[in-house]
Structure 1
Amino acid sequence: MSKDPCRFILAVLVVAVCAASADARATEASIGTAQMASDGTLTFFLIARDPARGITGHGFFTYKRGDPKYGEMLRHVGGLRPGQTKSVPPWPSAAK
């Protein structure tokens, strides 16, 4: 019976480590954040890095409802609700 609490604690630690690893991977894969304002306007704060050349670039983009790219951008982040902020995953690379 004394082993059950130890197994429980071990299981909790394993789950915590796995969750932390998943969060770290998600953060590493992020290229910025996207926010939706109360009027539905999307704002993207993006960053691009090329460590090999020591180059970093920042971008700030807004998309109002009705913008031709609005739906594509909203789908890319998996949807947003007013007031919500999400990480932006990288876009798929162009075929080489």
Structure 2
Amino acid sequence: MANYMVRVEIFKADGEEYADLHKALESLGLKRTVQGDNGVLRMPPGTYYGASSLGTYELREKVKTIAAPFSYPADPSVFVSESSDWSGWLRLA
């Protein structure tokens, strides 16, 4: 399984819809946190990290399908990148 960083931007969603989106993406193994050297860190808004057996294209399509009902009037913006190493300045979760 590969690790992925996923960025999702949805339009005109409220807090409840964002909470539902987070839960749905978690079912794919994508979380809003990442394990760092100093503990669990919070990803920037709209950014998710997790492992999947899917390829980047397949994962992108699943994320888009999940995010689409939460994004109106435009389709969601989705970016998926396989990640073998990362570095960042993030806040503790």
- TM-score range normalised by the length of the shorter chain: under 0.3
Higher RCO (C-alpha 8 Å, min separation 6): 2
| Larger gyration radius, structure 1 or structure 2 | 1
Q: Which has the higher helix share?
A: 1
